[in-house]
Structures are given as structure tokens and as C-alpha cells.
Amino acid sequence: MAHPRRDRVRRAHGRRRHRRRRGLRRYGRLRRSRPGRHRHQDRGPGGGEPEPAATVTEKVTVTPKPAEKPGPATTVEGDGQYLVGEDMQAGTYKTAGPDKSGFVDNCYWARAKDASGEFEAIIANDNLKGQGRVTVNKGEYFETNGCQEWTKVG
């Protein structure tokens, strides 16, 4: 039978040797270079694996542009009376002519000084059978009946 004291000494001695080797391996002295790797990459601190790149997070504050106030329309669709400069923009408008879905094949438009509906308030008017154009100025009233959409062209 083996002596118990000697076994302990051998075990302790073996551990020390093992620890020493592990420490040496840690710094690459006992490692063999692997194909494709350089010697300095096998070494520990200062020559080991590259440190990961720092992540930079940038905080960006986005301020939405204020919504533009809806201005006067550039198209006029449907029958009615419109104040130029408020309900529609001033300028030249065109239409393709009478609305084909209507009962009467006629397109009436009028420019007026005010919304009174009086004959004296009319600046200009016309009944169209085909396409037409009209130029309206700010402050006037534009009236349309039985026409397709009016679109601003100038």
C-alpha cells in the first residue's frame, strides 16, 4: 500500500506543475501557431484578440415641419358661388365644358362684384357648349352651374 503522505505531496506537486503550464499557455508560450494566425495573435494582453469596436449611439431629435395652412383651392368642382382669394385662388381657369351627367347640356359661369345675385353685380358671364377659360381676380365672386371641374392653368 502507498504511503498517504507521499500521495498528498505528489498530488499537490502535480497540481502546481499543471497550474504553471496553464499559466504559460495563457500567454501563448506553449502554444503552437495555427495556420493563418500570426504569432502575436496567440499572445495574451497587448497582443491577443482585438477589442470590439465601441458602439456610438447618436440621439437625433426630429421636429416635423408645421403643416401648411390649407390655402384657397386651385380647382373648383361642382355648382356654386366661390369667393376668389378665399375659396379659390385668383388666376386663369379652364374647363372641359358641360357636365355630361347633367339634365341640360349647358355650362354657365359668371364673375360678379358681390354675392348679391343682382344683374348689376355681374362683371362677365357665358354659356359654354364646349371647353372654356375664365380669368378671376381676388375679391370677385365666381359662379358656376352644370360645368365639369375648373382647373387653374395660370
Single-letter amino acid, residue 129: K
Least confident range from 36-50, 92-106, 122-136, 140-154: namely 36-50
Residues 6+ apart with CB under 8 A from 132: 94, 95, 97, 107, 109, 126
The average pLDDT across 126-146 equals: 94
Is the pLDDT assigned to residue 1 strictly greater than 70?
A: no
Report the mean per-residue pLDDT for the chain.
77
- pTM score over 0.85: no
How far is the C-alpha of 43 from the C-alpha of 30, rounded, in Å?
10
The average pLDDT across 85-90 equals: 92
Per-residue cell: 79:
355648382
Is the pLDDT assigned to residue 22 strictly greater than 80?
A: no
Single-letter amino acid, residue 128: L
Q: Give residue 49's pLDDT band: very low, low, confident or very high (50, 70, 90).
A: low
**Domain layout of the chain by residue ranges:** 1-60, 75-152
Least confident range from 21-30, 73-82, 116-125, 140-149: namely 21-30
